[in-house]
A = this chain, B = another copy of it.
Amino acid sequence: MSKPELAQRISEDLSQGNIESIREALSNVHPSEIASILQNFDPDDHTKILEALDNETASEVILELDPEQREDILEDFDADKIADIADEMDSDDAADLLGELPEQTAQSVLDKMDPEEAKDVKPLLKYPEDTAGGIMQTELVKVSQNSTVRDTINWIRLIADEVEDFQLVFVTDNQDKLLGQISLTKLILATASTNVTAIMEPIEVTTTPYIDQEEVVKIFQKYDILSLPVVDSSGVLLGRITADDVLDVLSEEASEDLFQMAGVGDSLHPIYTPTRTRILLRAPWLLLTLIGELFIAFIIVYAFQPTLEKVAILAAFMPAIMATGGNVGLQTTTIIIRSLGMGTINVKQMFKLVISEMKVGLSLGLICGIIAALIGALISYNQPEVTRLALAVFIAMVSATLATSFIGVAAPLVLHKLDFDPAAASGPFLTMFNDIFGSVFYLFIAMLIL
């Protein structure tokens, strides 16, 4: 059945209250497909459709939804139902789910969960969700250093259901400290009586639970691994992070950079986030910029009214100067922020980077400045002050691109060094700085030479 047909059938089933038929229709559909089909239905129907599914499928569908949608649905479920769903999840996903619930609900869900599952989830709740601890899962396969390959295989037989996906067996000492790892290939090829320490390999890299998830992404990229053990300060194995979790983090972090640069604040689903929330999250940067720009207006009115009255068409070139300076600044800051994010540059190279970017900015400014001055002179050829006007445009454009190149490279580097998010630099700061050059500084130059 195609997606539209499926949606059609479910829609009919819903109106007839035929829950059994919904379950049957969705029985062979992948949970992420179901999540995408849900987008065709009203929020009220989401709950009904999810109730028709078995708990395992429902748990997977819920994980695929947008946080806002998930919140809506969970509000309609009681603690028993949420506990049943959480029981089906990996510990890291269950912990995230509990973290999204109101504290009281989370506690009663935890009480109603299967004790074995709850035991896996509880230690994860203390880690902030954007840390290594927040994205790790506690389900893993570990054996003590005294085990043989036969013991290990027997142990895997016992827990294979609980720990679904694993690529490595971890070997720990008697204090639960991580000693090494065994790939499943090695395990397959070894003889049954071999001791695990004889075939284990050293752990290339580990992390600790309070490390920022951005750092975790960098570790995965640097070492090209599929699984990363998380240990506490004394080396005791706490959990593992897998590459598929890191994929989610990476796409989240990339969005964060984009949203920061656009002053959006946070991920906002354009349909499911309430309009009010979206306005409130987007307004701060806008208002900050607006206040700065009105300050610019104030300066123009009080300092440059005579200049503007003398040569009214000065105003005609303000948009060009502001747009050019703004674009050069945005280009520079984007390159620097992204290079910092990917770890291809570091703050120690600051001097080299600033010089290098300003060289490019100056060249671009000279190119644009010459073109703007020439065309500007052409446009205003019949004005009495045409040559000086063109000169003012040229000077202002070169200064604006130089200034925004400097801020575009220096601001993110300084913010990064001070442990702030460099993406925040391209916000109000860069826009205002640029617009001062494109208007106030330009009019100042014009006043001097006209």
With A318-B318, A363-B275: A290-B334 Cβ-Cβ less than 8 Å:
no
* Residue in A30, A222, A286, A431 whose Cβ sees the most chain B Cβ within 10 Å: A286
A243–B220 Cα gap in the complex (Å)?
A: 10
Interface of A is mostly: helix
Q: A200 → chain B, closest Cβ, in Å?
A: 16
Select A184's contact among B39, B184, B309, B339, beta carbons within 8 Å. B184
Q: A327 → chain B, closest Cβ, in Å?
A: 6
Q: A35 → chain B, closest Cβ, in Å?
A: 9
Q: Is the CB of B338 within 8 A of A259?
A: yes
Q: Is the CB of B243 within 8 A of A156?
A: no
Q: Is the CB of A435 within 8 A of B286?
A: no
Q: A199 → chain B, closest Cβ, in Å?
A: 12
Within 8 A of B (CB), among A174-204: 183-185, 187-189, 204
B residues near A157, Cβ cutoff 8 Å: 189
A32–B223 Cα gap in the complex (Å)?
A: 7
Select A324's contact among B221, B293, B368, beta carbons within 8 Å. B293
A379 at the interface (CB under 8 A from B): yes
For A278-296 the 0/1 string (1 means CB < 8 A from B) is 1100110111011001101
A316 at the interface (CB under 8 A from B): yes
B residues near A313, Cβ cutoff 8 Å: 300-301, 305, 308
**Number of residues from A at the complex interface, CB < 8 A:** 122
A344 at the interface (CB under 8 A from B): yes
A101 at the interface (CB under 8 A from B): no
Within 8 A of B (CB), among A4-26: none
A97 at the interface (CB under 8 A from B): no
Segment at the interface with B among A48-56, A76-84, A128-136, A250-258: A250-258
A108 at the interface (CB under 8 A from B): no
Q: Is the CB of B251 within 8 A of A224?
A: no
A380–B242 Cα gap in the complex (Å)?
A: 61
With A167-B167, A188-B184: A320-B294 Cβ-Cβ less than 8 Å:
yes
A380–B298 Cα gap in the complex (Å)?
A: 8
B residues near A335, Cβ cutoff 8 Å: 259, 262, 264, 268, 270
Select A278's contact among B289, B315, B360, beta carbons within 8 Å. B360
A43 at the interface (CB under 8 A from B): no
With A279-B364, A312-B309, A364-B283: A320-B338 Cβ-Cβ less than 8 Å:
no
Select A316's contact among B224, B289, B300, B372, beta carbons within 8 Å. B300
